Structure 1
């Protein structure tokens, strides 16, 4: 190979590598009053702590941030929603950012204000629907005596609800998203292909409290054929990373106070890869997105100014 051509190829390879996106994991720390914490990874397995907080919660009565969920739109803007109240809230928090450092004014979105008996709004999860160019936000709420009680207490009998929005200024009416016949929280929508979606769910009934998956043809379902559990007792807060044709599902294994992960290509068989991952101490329920190397550079510089 001629020297000139070799140098061109090296330059192209380096240029492509330098543009490779980095994985970013949102998180919070107990007792959830500090706000947004972050971690990053180049390979999707080993996560480096970027510390925090990057956004101190101001929305909601309790002024907490739990379960920060983030999605990047086609305009490159990151949109984030989070749990603002453990009990008593009727909405969730929202803010946006282009660089994860400078954030818009926080908003409180009262999506369940029309339900005076609502107990909570938990773990809002944001999904960008590229087919309809809209954002779908799903969350778990309990409305006592609304659904068949089963084995749950009336104030712990959750179902999933949703709204859609294109601009985070106007929202659709709140509608029921999922009623699988049992208490369910912490759902995550995964697009696998055209007219092919998976929904990761937490069966929140007392004997189970583990993760399962259901399937649908649209991001709004209906989701059916709920699987057997693929995680152990007392696990929640799933998020998904797609890599090399496979999906890595991270989840908070809170019963044992650690994080675990499984890998799957078909959402039918799952391989435990927990021994291959590493997360910062104290990492809690969040979601994974991607950032550019320039954004990462700014975050690393910012993290140096944050005390441990």
Structure 2
């Protein structure tokens, strides 16, 4: 077993003015402060229906729960590839593919992400357009609202085009402008901006790989930086969408449509390298070609500072403790030895990697941290890796008043017990996992 890769949170946060739309296309490199929480909203069509949209939400961009499905059915046509933003008017908007052939894209709106109202189909004013696919919102740092859409006249000459809203109601749009340097034969182009650089992730229709190009202007010219199987995602892949994570990284989702699976992968070094693809828990093989909107909303949970003990939700006589430097859950009671009570007591301090999260020290000042995904108690060596390994971010647990502790540097992995041993495991869409990874913060045993 080899040591897992250290995280390099190098992406800078992009700060928007108050008038800017809330989108999932820019990075926010910090967990939200107490009293607030990160919320990820997914809009997707499914393997079972191209005419119904499902809506999901998640606290961590990994474990999504259904809000409503179907949540929206257009008056006619399809609802493939729904892309979501929240506008300055506080409303949510989707744009979507209306049909396999044709020259329109559809728009709908909602105040609550659950109930949706059809707005209109917009005709793309380009002569000879036969296919109008995968429209994606992109809100630039100047506040302009854009849709990036793949257009083709022959079915084999797809290129990405930009439409820009000319009014705040999003009812009027400019003539389409091609993103130069991409295509022909590229579809599903998804754009994010980091600093002054635009990054386009686009599917090469011949090789079926997702490739990466950059530009200093939204309309290009784009230069390809990574082609072929550069990220280790394999092929065929499509339907890619990106979202920023709380630790400064980026997550990409993509559809392995020939194997019926949906994957995600993370990057922490400016999109140069990516983690090995993992299946999206619970939704792989069901949800298709979606986008994910990140917002900070009120609410959330915290772990109070000071001396505390953590009681297992599904084994309430057992508590988090360390034994021979390794984390476990063991029975603790009033008749337990003083040493056992002390081993099951931790001091909660601001997270070493992010003060809006938490770190846990034992009586001797050593920290709970993960190493090869196993929980252990180690002395702080001052390294960035240690600080990240020893930082956990509180999310709502499976029982009322409980918390789950997400790994800071492995988003989607949670502190959980398995055979009473503590480790950080990738979220699983099961009641057992949710209970195994939930703890109640109680008064300290020592």
Q: TM-score per shorter chain, which class?
A: 0.7 to 0.9
Looking at CA atoms only, which structure, 1 or 2, has the larger radius of gyration? 2
Aligned partners of 1:162 and 1:31: how far apart in 2? 30
Alpha-carbon distance, 1:178 to partner: 3.8
Q: Is the alpha carbon distance of 1:223 and 1:66 closer, same or farther for their aligned partners in structure 2, counting shifts above 3 Å? A: same
Q: Is the alpha carbon distance of 1:178 and 1:209 closer, same or farther for their aligned partners in structure 2, counting shifts above 3 Å? A: farther
1:271 counterpart residue number: 275
Alpha-carbon distance, 1:293 to partner: 6.1
Q: Is the alpha carbon distance of 1:74 and 1:122 closer, same or farther for their aligned partners in structure 2, counting shifts above 3 Å? A: same
Counterpart selection for 2:153 from 118, 143, 149:
143
Q: Secondary structure at the match of 2:147?
A: strand
Aligned partners of 1:38 and 1:187: how far apart in 2? 22
Alpha-carbon distance, 1:179 to partner: 4.4
Alpha-carbon distance, 1:103 to partner: 2.9
Alpha-carbon distance, 1:251 to partner: 0.5
Long gaps (5+) in structure 2: 1-31, 300-446
Q: Is the contact made by 1:251 and 1:285 (CA closer than 8 Å) also made in structure 2?
A: yes
2:202 counterpart residue number: 201
Aligned partners of 1:136 and 1:218: how far apart in 2? 13
Q: Is the alpha carbon distance of 1:29 and 1:271 closer, same or farther for their aligned partners in structure 2, counting shifts above 3 Å? A: same
Q: Is the contact made by 2:79 and 2:96 (CA closer than 8 Å) also made in structure 1?
A: yes
Q: Is the alpha carbon distance of 1:65 and 1:293 closer, same or farther for their aligned partners in structure 2, counting shifts above 3 Å? A: farther
Aligned partners of 2:179 and 2:93: how far apart in 1? 21
Normalized per residue, the structure richer in strand is 2
Counterpart selection for 2:100 from 83, 86, 96:
86
Aligned partners of 1:162 and 1:71: how far apart in 2? 16
2:132 counterpart residue number: 121
Aligned partners of 1:96 and 1:248: how far apart in 2? 26
Alpha-carbon distance, 1:218 to partner: 2.8
Q: Deviations over 1:120-169 (max 9, x none)?
A: 100001111231x221111111123xxxxxxxxxx322111121004312
Q: Is the alpha carbon distance of 1:125 and 1:257 closer, same or farther for their aligned partners in structure 2, counting shifts above 3 Å? A: same
Q: How many residues align?
A: 259
Aligned partners of 1:210 and 1:180: how far apart in 2? 14
Alpha-carbon distance, 1:290 to partner: 3.0
Aligned partners of 2:159 and 2:173: how far apart in 1? 20
**2:37 corresponds to 1:20:** yes
Q: Secondary structure at the match of 2:40?
A: strand
Normalized against structure 2, the TM-score is what?
Answer: 0.55
Alpha-carbon distance, 1:18 to partner: 4.2
**2:48 corresponds to 1:42:** no
Normalized per residue, the structure richer in helix is 1
Alpha-carbon distance, 1:106 to partner: 2.4
Higher mean displacement: 98-107 or 259-268: 98-107
Aligned partners of 1:139 and 1:70: how far apart in 2? 14
Alignment RMSD: 2.1
1:241 counterpart residue number: 243
Alpha-carbon distance, 1:107 to partner: 0.4
Q: Is the contact made by 1:237 and 1:285 (CA closer than 8 Å) also made in structure 2?
A: yes
Q: Is the contact made by 1:186 and 1:236 (CA closer than 8 Å) also made in structure 2?
A: yes
2:256 counterpart residue number: 253
Alpha-carbon distance, 1:279 to partner: 3.7
Aligned partners of 2:210 and 2:97: how far apart in 1? 20
Alpha-carbon distance, 1:269 to partner: 1.2
Q: Secondary structure at the match of 1:252?
A: strand
1:130 counterpart residue number: 141
Q: Is the alpha carbon distance of 1:184 and 1:269 closer, same or farther for their aligned partners in structure 2, counting shifts above 3 Å? A: same
Q: Is the alpha carbon distance of 1:272 and 1:255 closer, same or farther for their aligned partners in structure 2, counting shifts above 3 Å? A: same
Long gaps (5+) in structure 1: 1-14, 145-154, 295-308
